[in-house]
Amino acid sequence: MFQDFDFQQLYSPDFKEDSVREVLILPIIHRLGYKNAQVVRSKSLQHPFLKIGSKKRPVNLVPDYLFKIEDSYAWVLDAKSPTETITSGDNLEQIFSYAIHPEVRTKFFSLCNGKEFILFRQDEKQPILYFQLQDIENYWDEIVAYLSPNSFQSGKNFTYTSVKKARAKSEVFDYVTRPLLEELPVYKQSAKRHCGVHGYFTKQVWNVVQEYIRNFSQVGDIVLDPFGGSGVTAIEALMTDRKSIHIDLNPMSVFMVNSLIAPVDFDNLHQAFTEIKAEYLANEPKSDIEVSKALKNIPIPKIYHCQKGQM
Ligand SMILES: C[S@@+](CC[C@H](N)C(=O)[O-])C[C@H]1O[C@@H](n2cnc3c(N)ncnc32)[C@H](O)[C@@H]1O
């Protein structure tokens, strides 16, 4: 669909939001079967605010794509640059605000940054579809079932046809004869990645490991690393929708990987943050004297004192 697009390009600073739209989103829209008249681009909202209770909240931007079925909008999609986060935060809030805007009112809202695609339905907290764009073929049946023009039934509220959950495996995937990959660029420091949080001595380059997993296995397969070390294989396997088995003689390695893959409990995290913040605010030094006093109680490495004294 993307005409042999090299996904490594997404790591180039020149590949921005407009490239994501032209090179990646456009082919998806065409393949889904939308006609030009059904795609409303950059619609200006007549009332550039949203009322939440009695409060007016400004909506500064306009949605990139609105998909129209008969006289209603069926879903909304915003493109982002590959460096932007689409699974949480401001971008997600923004697209949600479009979806609930009185001039839009779509049940489905989605974001795509070239690397990932995420789809939400207003009545579900969790995304109903999330995948790496590189793996789009594995999700195509589900994408069509949710988002193609035919999947929407017109009427007061849109519904969608039932989704075929099974991700059919390609029959022609021959594990033994997969080609070796060409040399890959190394993105050691270029992404906020699990491996950045520790310094386990055997750490390998995540993007290379990921490419090999993609090349030699299919979505849903089991990837085994019996000398798992830093956990890069296990984690990249999970990130690309495989199952993974991590084995290592060193308990530190197993502990690290268990911690890295543990689901985050956002309520607990929020509570812990609130407690730490409250503790800090209660003890925050307010004047220079209080700051010096506080610093005396903090064990700062001697070398730092030394360097500071010399300056
Ligand atoms: C080369 S490193 C693994 C590299 C790994 N892909 C990474 O990115 O970190 C080798 C790992 O194998 C583990 N190891 C060594 N001998 C082992 C054994 N007999 N059984 C299981 N793990 C072993 C070591 O503790 C070390 O973490």
User: pLDDT digits over 137-156, tens only?
Assistant: 989 988 998 899 888 754 43
Instruction: Please name the residue whose Cα sits nearest to atom 26 of ligand 1.
Output: 229
Confidence (pTM):
0.56
- Domain pair 7-151 / 184-261, same fold: no
SS3 130: strand
Q: How far is the CA of 245 from the centre of ligand 1 (A)?
A: 13
Average pLDDT for 37-45: 83
Residue-wise burial string across 30-50, b where 16 or more C-beta atoms lie within 10 A, e elsewhere: eebebeeebbbeebebeeeeb
Instruction: Return the domain boundaries, the chain.
Output: 7-151, 184-261, 266-310
Amino acid letter at 279? E
CATH number for domain 7-151, candidates 3.30.70.20, 3.40.50.300, 3.20.20.70, 3.90.1570.30: 3.90.1570.30
Ligand 1 binding pocket, CB closer than 6 Å:
202-204, 225, 227-230, 232-233, 247-250, 253
> What pLDDT shows up at residue 197?
65
Q: Which helix (H) or strand (E) holds 243?
A: strand 243-246
Residues in the chain: 311
Q: What is the mean pLDDT of the chain?
A: 83
Share of the chain above pLDDT 90, in %: 40
Q: What is the four-CA torsion angle of 242, 245, 248, 253, rounded to 10 degrees?
A: 50
At residue 266, the pLDDT reads 86
251 touches 229 (CB < 8 A):
no
Flag whether pLDDT at 49 surpasses 90.
Answer: no
Closest C-alpha to ligand 1, atom 25: 250
| Nearest atom within ligand 1 for CA of residue 230 | 9
Half-sphere exposure of 306 (CA within 13 A, CB side): 3
301 pLDDT more than 90: no
Q: What is the pLDDT of residue 309?
A: 45
What Cα–Cα distance (Å) separates residue 82 from each residue in 10, 23, 34, 87, 220? 6, 13, 24, 12, 25
Minimal CA–CA distance to 64: which of 32, 8, 104, 121? 104
pLDDT in the model for residue 167: 46
Q: Which CATH architecture has domain 184-261?
A: 3-Layer(aba) Sandwich (3.40)
Better-predicted residue by pLDDT, 28 or 53 = 28
pLDDT range class, residue 299, cuts 50, 70, 90: confident
Tokens 């010399």 -> residue: 310
Residue 116 forms beta bridges with which residues? 132
Q: Which of 38-47, 75-84, 97-106, 263-272 has the highest mean pLDDT?
A: 75-84
Tens-digit pLDDT profile for residues 156-177 = 344 443 334 434 444 578 888 8
Say what the pLDDT of residue 48 is: 61
> Which residue from 79, 73, 75 is spatially nearest to 61, judged by alpha carbons?
79
If one compares 49 and 279, the residue with the highest pLDDT of the two is 279
Chain centroid to Cα 14, Å, comes to 20
Ligand 1 centre from 204 Cα, in Å?
A: 12
Sign of torsion over alpha carbons 70, 72, 75, 79: positive
Mean pLDDT of the 164-191 span:
67
Q: 173: CA distance to ligand 1 center in Å?
A: 29
Instruction: Measure 23 CA to ligand 1 centroid, in angstroms.
Output: 40
pLDDT tens, residue by residue, 230-243? 899 999 999 888 99
Name the residue with higher pLDDT: 79 or 104. Answer: 79
pLDDT at 179 over 60: yes
Residue written as token pair 């949080």? 197
User: How is residue 60 annotated by DSSP?
Assistant: -
Q: Per-residue pLDDT for 272 more than 90?
A: yes
